[in-house]
Structure 1
């Protein structure tokens, strides 16, 4: 039985460029009766592009498909091209089990190893690991702040540099907020029960009205939808809007207008209104 690992972190997501070679550590186990011999061997992968999809240039992930001429393609492109090879136009109907075995045993350092992550992961698990990695870097949620770091670094930074701008919340208690268009309101959980949570509320202006959206930043660990939230808006003319949703977990702020799970405020109710947010911890 053989397993691979990679010494070095010269990996990136853009596969359109030739990437530098990496040295692979190959461990071979050979059983002899009741004993098992273990040998360490090294090999060098000269061109990392060979484990990228030749169509979309993203890293190949299992399942991997091939045409009758042996040209490989990723699962996503396999569906988009309707089982037709982009290289030779032949039918793509079989899996490339050999390449899948290589990816299953090829282990690489986490791309965040330079920031302290000690884990080695299989090559096709890198993206999933990065979503949960405590060392993944992200920007400070406050506008016009250039600080970047891990979630723990961001949490410490916001307490040290933006404490006066933070709004505090306790689960189950409504908080008055007033998000301006294009700005963010950042709320910090005040209790210690599972604490260290930062919630961001963003406001976007459209020709028809405003979009108000809340989410929690941090590693996307299991039980992502740990919180729910409700928004209650009271306009000066007596109208009222209510909205409830799960509090989505994201790795970092994006500043992009959401396409779901948001409150829409018609323009005739803007901007003279009061808004309360209530965040609740879900019970299981």
Structure 2
């Protein structure tokens, strides 16, 4: 193998140093953070609402939100030039920008991009500090979502209440009342709230369960009847999220128990995060 010339050695050394510097700079860029102290800087200069992507600009650099851009027939409100370009740099800044959750009491930082500050992300819709109306249709009480369970218990929207642990069967007493409120027992923050209802029909009883929290997690549940004969009946379904509990017969999945075939039984429910228990 021929020895490298002095020029080749210098070139190889320079290339190696450049690669090392580029790698170091890339790592440093990842560590860079910034703070935007005035959110008015992200307002559209035409309508003064929060900027959303896409953002348009004219040749002079004047910008407008997509809504104003359409209303102005793509003409700049400042200089009347055609706004034919996107401001990609500012769009990128909005993609990386995070802002405090607008709900008082919440310390979460949420993404700014693709929405207005009032609706910064799905976090705001499901935040425990978002004000929520009571889902029971006969009640107009409003409070933080995290306080709704205590309100429902105090208001006696159901005859009884209890805590449940995901994956663990729970006995539901059927004597007295038409339903029970269950709250998930968890150490990781606010747990989900589930309502189990039953409706007496002329020829049997109908059972139904729903989740009344604003979260995004999916749940499944199993209803199980232990009969006096020692046999069991069970039904599995996805736990639906609802905005309102009307104390009327539901339109979703239910379990019907004929009174003629099951005159005496014990009732259990098992709630699980994720897909159906049998899958």
| Structure 1 length-normalised TM | 0.48
The structure with the largest helix share of the pair is 2
| Structure 2 length-normalised TM | 0.49
The structure whose Rg is larger is: 2
